[in-house]
Amino acid sequence: MSDIRRDRLHDHYVLIAPERMRRPDTLATTHTEESADNCPFCEGHESMTPPEIYASRDNEPNMPHWSVRVIPNLYKAVQIELDDTSRMDGMFESRPGVGAHEIIIDTPCHDCRFSNLEVVQIADWLTAISKRISDLRKDKRLIYASVFKNHGEYAGATQSHPHTQIIALPVMPHDALKLLDKGLQYYRRHGRGKVEDLLINEQEAKVRIVARRGDFTAFCPFASSYPFEVIIAPQRDLSSLDDLNRDDIAHLARLLKEVFRRLESELGNFNYNLAFRMAPLNSNFENEPYFPHLKKYYRMTIRIMPRIYRLGGFELSTGMLINPVTPEEAAKLLRETKI
Which single residue brings its beta carbon nearest to Zn ion? 39
| CB atoms near residue 53 (< 10 Å) | 18
Cα dihedral 1, 55, 170, 196, rounded to 10, equals: 150
First-last CA distance in the chain: 47
Nearer to Zn ion, 36 or 209 (CB): 36
Q: Is residue 105 close enough to count as binding Zn ion by CB under 5 A?
A: no
Nearer to Zn ion, 41 or 125 (CB): 41
The per-residue DSSP string of 298-314 comes to: ---EEEEEE--S---HH
According to DSSP, the residues that pair with 196 across neighbouring strands are none
Smallest gap from Cβ 108 to Zn ion, in A, equals 8
Q: Is residue 57 close enough to count as binding Zn ion by CB under 5 A?
A: no
Q: Is residue 133 close enough to count as binding Zn ion by CB under 5 A?
A: no
Q: Is residue 296 close enough to count as binding Zn ion by CB under 5 A?
A: no
Kindly tell me which residue out of 5, 20, 23, 110 binds Zn ion, with binding defined by CB under 5 A: 110
Q: Is residue 39 close enough to count as binding Zn ion by CB under 5 A?
A: yes
Q: Is residue 161 close enough to count as binding Zn ion by CB under 5 A?
A: yes
Q: Is residue 54 close enough to count as binding Zn ion by CB under 5 A?
A: no
Of the listed pieces 108-116, 126-134, 170-178, 255-263, which binds Zn ion according to CB under 5 A? 108-116
DSSP helix/strand/coil, 200: helix
Q: Is residue 42 close enough to count as binding Zn ion by CB under 5 A?
A: yes
- Could you tell me where the DSSP H helices lie in the chain? 119-136, 174-190, 194-205, 246-267, 294-297, 313-318, 327-336
Smallest gap from Cβ 162 to Zn ion, in A, equals 8
Nearer to Zn ion, 162 or 221 (CB): 162
Nearest CA-CA partner of 221 in 243, 196, 189, 199: 199
Can you give the binding site for Zn ion, defined by CB under 5 A? 36, 39, 41-42, 110, 161
